[in-house]
Amino acid sequence: MKKSLVALAVLAASGAAMAQSTVTLFGVVDAAYTKGSGSVSSKTQLGNSGYNSSRLGFRGVEDLGGGMRAEFWLEAGVANDNGSGFNTNSNNQAVTAASAGTQGLTFNRKSTVGLVGSMGEIRLGRDYTPQFYADAVFDPFGTNGVASSLIAYGGGQAAVRASNMIAYHSPAVSGFKVMVGTYFGENASTAAKAGDGNGVYVSYAQGKLALGTGSATTTTGAGTQVKTTNFGGSYDLGVAKLMAESNTVANTGAADLKGSLMGALVPMAGGTFRISSASLKQAAAETKRMSVGFVMPLSKRTDLYATYARNANSGGANRALNGAVTAANASSTGTDLGVKHSF
C-alpha cells in the first residue's frame, strides 16, 4: 500500500512538472571600444550595448487550452564591460543621484506576466511605454550606441519604460495593431499622482510599408505633466529601407522638445550600412546629428559593428557624445567599434 502511495506521488509530481511553463534562457552580450571628443574634454572607454542592449532574460509560456496561454518575461540589463546591472525605479519617478548609474542585477528592462488569447494579450508589470515604440522602430540606430535616438529620452519620466503597468496588446487585424497602457506611481490618495500615466500606440505593417504613432501623458508632480506624441514610418525599397520619424515632448513650464529624423538601412558587402540625419530643438537651442555605421554579421548570432556620429550645436545647445563635454554651440564627435553576440 505504501509503495503504491509512493508511486502515485511520483506520478503526480511528474505530471505537475510536465505541466509547467516551457522556459527559455536568452540574452545579448555587446561590448565596444568607444571614443567621444568635445571642445572641453574627450573620453575613451570600453562600453556596452553599442548595437543591441546587453541583457540576460528568462521567458516562459504555458498552454492553458482553448486557445489561451500564460506567459512571463523577466529581462535584466547587463553592463558587461564591468559586470554590473542597470538601475530601475519602482514608481516611475525620476532617477535620483542615489539610484543613478549601475547596481546589482535587476529586471529593469522587462518583468511581466500575462494572458494571451485570440483577442490579444493582457500584460502586467514593467515594460516599454506606448510612446517609446516609434522612437525605437523607425530609427536606423534604434536607441543604442553613439548614434542613439536624440529624442527617445526627452520625455523624462517613463519615456522608455514604466513600472506598475497594465497593458493591452491587440492581435494584428489587416496589418493594424494597438497597444494601450496605463501605469501607476502608486502614491497615497493625499499625494500628487506623480508617476501615473496613460498612453496608446497604433501601428500598421503590410508588405513593404510600416507606420506607427504613439501618444502618452505622464504626471510628473502637482500640476505638472509631460505629453509625448510621435509618428514614424518606413518603406522597404529592396535596395534600401527608408525611415523617418517626428516626436514632440511637452513638459509643463518648459519649451517643447521637437525631434525629427530621416535615415536608411542599406544592404551592402554582406552587411548593413546605416545612416541617419536627426535634429532635436528646444526653443533656440538645437542639435543636429549626422550618423553613419556598418554592421557585419559573422554568423546568425554574432556581429561586428562600427558607428560614427557628429553633433552640431547651435542656439546655446551643448550636447556631446560618448562621455565627452563640449561648450555651447561647439560640436562633438563619437565613435563605436564593437562586437555583439546573442544567445
Any idea what DSSP says for residue 238?
S
Residue 130 belongs to some domain of the structure: yes
Lowest-confidence region among 17-26, 139-148, 159-168, 243-252? 17-26
30, pLDDT greater than 80:
yes
How many structural domains is the chain composed of? Answer: 1
Residue 3 belongs to some domain of the structure: no
Q: Residue 310: beta bridge partners?
A: 290, 333
| Prediction pTM value | 0.89
Any idea what DSSP says for residue 137?
H
* Residue 125 belongs to domain with CATH number: 2.40.160.10
Residue 136 belongs to some domain of the structure: yes
Residue at grid coordinates 502586467: 124
Q: What is the pLDDT of residue 152?
A: 81
| Dihedral, 340, 244, 324, 55 alpha carbons, nearest 10 | -30
Residue at grid coordinates 546591472: 85
Residue 2 belongs to some domain of the structure: no
292-332, pLDDT tens digit by residue? 999 999 999 999 999 999 999 999 999 999 999 999 999 99
Mean pLDDT estimate for the chain = 91
All cell numbers assigned to 47: 562600453
CA angle in degrees (0–180, nearest 5) for 290-296-301:
120
Q: What is the pLDDT of residue 159?
A: 85
State which of 79-88, 219-228, 324-333 shows the largest mean pLDDT: 324-333
Q: What is the pLDDT of residue 92?
A: 84
Domain that holds residue 38: 24-342
Q: What is the pLDDT of residue 11?
A: 38
All cell numbers assigned to 105: 542585477
Residue 1 belongs to some domain of the structure: no
| Dihedral, 145, 157, 228, 128 alpha carbons, nearest 10 | 60
Q: What is the pLDDT of residue 95?
A: 63
Residue 11 belongs to some domain of the structure: no
Residue 76 belongs to some domain of the structure: yes
- Residues 99-115 have a mean pLDDT of 85
Residue 330 belongs to some domain of the structure: yes
